[in-house]
């Protein structure tokens, strides 16, 4: 359960760096759904929550504007893996409604959850960054806000499930794999179409 909780939060950070951190902080501060370890107690601080909310607002706006979303993804290449590492580390070491003994996970290697979370978030971020140009081209830019909103919702759902019902994180991971396959196929199709158009121009040019 600790691994699923950490994985879900890290994957969520790959979609949006601030949502899983803000979710953990809010739930820890205002509910009993999660009890953060002492090293991550700063997440439930009022100032921390305010700053995360502010950064989240900027991220949500920037990610919904074509071209700007690409620049944002470049910047977030460094932010999302970092957030994923923090989220995995804090989540896997927290006591939740489904995890009663978090200290039994990765106890001998404290760096392991951070590295694992960073890698997971980086992979999901790469998928997100690769899919956005495909969406923008196929929809003339109109799909960017829709895709971004869907990603934000997915990040929120994944974060909550990772804490409350981590088993369902497997469903979210399955959807991410399906999305990865879709992106790869679309990118290959675009390359084939471009190659075909170039050959046509050479033949009739």
**Band of pLDDT at residue 19, cut at 50, 70 and 90:** very high
Print the domain residue range for 134: 2-204
Q: How many domains does the chain have?
A: 1
Averaged pLDDT score across all residues of the chain: 81
**Band of pLDDT at residue 58, cut at 50, 70 and 90:** very high
Helices vs strands, H then E, count in the chain: 7, 2
- Can you say how many angstroms the Cα of residue 181 is from the centroid of all Cα atoms in its chain? 17
User: Which residue did the predictor score with more confidence, 122 or 201?
Assistant: 122
Q: For residues 44 and 50, what is the distance between their CA atoms, to the nearest angstrom?
A: 10
């Amino acid at each position: 359960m600790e691994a699923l909780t950490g994985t879900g939060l890290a994957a969520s950070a790959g979609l949006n760096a601030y949502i899983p951190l803000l979710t953990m902080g809010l739930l820890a501060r205002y509910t009993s759904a999660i009890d953060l370890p002492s090293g991550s107690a700063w997440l439930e601080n009022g100032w921390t929550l305010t700053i995360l909310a502010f950064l989240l607002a900027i991220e949500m706006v920037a990610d919904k504007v074509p071209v700007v979303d690409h620049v944002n993804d470049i910047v977030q290449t460094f932010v999302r893996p970092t957030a994923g590492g923090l989220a995995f580390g804090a989540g896997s070491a927290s006591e939740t409604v489904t995890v009663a003994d978090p200290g039994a996970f990765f106890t001998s290697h404290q760096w392991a959850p951070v590295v694992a979370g960073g890698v997971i978030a980086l992979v999901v971020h790469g998928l997100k960054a690769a899919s956005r140009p495909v969406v923008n081209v196929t929809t003339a830019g109109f799909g960017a806000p829709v895709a971004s909103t869907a990603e934000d919702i997915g990040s929120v759902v994944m974060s909550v499930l990772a804490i409350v019902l981590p088993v369902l994180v497997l469903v979210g991971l399955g959807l991410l794999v399906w999305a990865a396959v879709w992106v790869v196929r679309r990118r290959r199709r675009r390359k084939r179409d471009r190659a075909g158009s170039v050959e046509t121009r050479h033949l009739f040019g």
